[in-house]
Amino acid sequence: MTRALGGPLIGLLLLCLASESRVGAGAGVSPPFVLVVGTAQDGGIPHLGGVAAPDLAARRDPSMRRRVASLLIADPASGRRWLVDATPDVAAQLELADQHQPPRARTPGEPGRPPLLDGVFLTHAHAGHYLGLAWFGREIAATDRLPVHGSRRMVEFLGRNGPWELLVRLGHIELHRLEPERPFALAPGLAITPFLVPHRDEYTDTFGFEIRGPRRALLYIPDIDKWERWSTPIEERIARVDLALLDATFYGEGELPGRSMADIPHPFVVESLARFARLPAAERRKVVFTHLNHTNPAALPGTPERAAIEAAGMRVAAEGERIEL
């Protein structure tokens, strides 16, 4: 009897084991994640010519240096990864990214060189957010048709103006237009949705992004004018997500001696703390500040300003922190 039933039973057993193996393999793959690869305003810390406390601390101690604000989005299941903003620190930021998810191998039949990234999503055309595109040109990485996504005005600006149009003409980047409020699929269960925010739009308009994975969602607004200048209440956007990385360029008024801060409006951290104080504690815990200027005392741990943020139930983003989606 054992011999008679052995074949079917063994076949069924092998089928079950194979099925469990496939389920186990899928379960063993890490979920998509966002890696914070920079938290500073466009000039980084230490800043060119900067003599504020964060600058001095960063020159004394290299561990206090901060790269320009940027995110990496990674999908371990497919091996793909995307960058949000191309900063002047892009080389060091991709080295950090490699420690968490290296570039994927070229798929069979895929033309060109192995891909450094699977795409770049740009917020706007201010120095810290798009100058890193130059690193993808023939003088450095010489990428092969790297997809670069932006708003209509961003794509038009890059396509018409040097040196960016040369990157397009030589095939190092490909420009792709994003539509506001329309999700862009990155991988199964992973999408990025752009939306417009008000911000000194000299050459292009400005995007924020909502990044949504299979389990969690993240809001990213590194640059915006005052919260009240936006037709959308920021609280509504925070309520949609699990974590919100928000503009904290300046802590408060008077941070730039000799310059009018009205010319470069941002939500002061003190204004955000006061506004978000009305939120329930669970909503306040979602708020993570990024894009800190070199003059912002909250860029340094242990300062009264950093303590005030933490006492309010919020925090400052840490470079290298990994946020699973």
On whether residue 148 sits in a domain, the answer given is: yes
Flag whether 22 is in a domain. Answer: no
Specify the CATH number for the domain of residue 272.
3.60.15.10
Looking at residue 113, its pLDDT comes to 73
The letter for the amino acid at 222 is P
| pLDDT score at 13 | 35
Inside any domain, residue 3: no
Is residue 55, in this structure, part of any structural domain at all? yes
Neighbours of 124 (CB within 10 A): 26
Task: Report yes or no on 69 lying in a domain.
Answer: yes
Q: What is the mean pLDDT of residues 214-243?
A: 97
Own/partner long-range contacts of 301-304 (Cβ < 8 Å, ≥24 apart): 303/53
- Residue 26 domain flag: no
The dihedrals phi and psi of 15, each to the nearest 5 degrees, come to -65, -45
Domain encompassing residue 276: 31-324
> What average pLDDT does range 110-116 have in this prediction?
76
The model's pLDDT over 147-178, given as tens digits with 9 standing for 90+, comes to 999 999 999 999 999 999 999 999 999 999 99
Residue 57 has pLDDT above 90, yes or no: yes
Instruction: Evaluate whether 206 touches 123 at the Cβ level (below 8 Å).
Output: yes
User: pLDDT (tens digit, 9 = 90+) per residue, 252-308?
Assistant: 988 888 788 878 889 999 999 999 999 999 999 999 999 999 999 999 999 999 999
- Total number of domains in the chain: 1
Task: Confirm if 289 and 298 have CB atoms less than 8 A apart.
Answer: yes
The answer to whether 144 and 115 are in contact (CB under 8 A) is yes
- Place 105 in a pLDDT band, splitting at 50, 70 and 90: confident
Q: Facing residues of 90 across strands?
A: none
Q: Give domain status of residue 291, yes or no.
A: yes
**pLDDT given at position 17:** 34
Residue 213 is which amino acid? G
Assess whether pLDDT exceeds 70 at residue 110.
no
Q: Decide which of 6 and 104 is more confident.
A: 104
Q: pLDDT confidence of 33, banded at 50, 70, 90?
A: very high
d(CA 4, CA 216): 51
Query: Given a cut of 70, is residue 6 above it in pLDDT?
Result: no
Selected residue with higher pLDDT from 50 and 14: 50
Q: Flag whether 199 is in a domain.
A: yes
In terms of DSSP bridges, do strands 120-121 and 190-197 run parallel, antiparallel, or are they unpaired? unpaired
* pLDDT score, position 111: 67
**Helix spans in the chain (H):** 2-28, 53-60, 90-100, 127-130, 152-160, 164-169, 234-239, 269-276, 281-284, 304-311
pLDDT band, residue 21 (cuts 50/70/90): very low
Predicted pLDDT of residue 4 = 39
Residue entry with tokens 């470079």: 319
> Token pair of 57, please?
């601390």
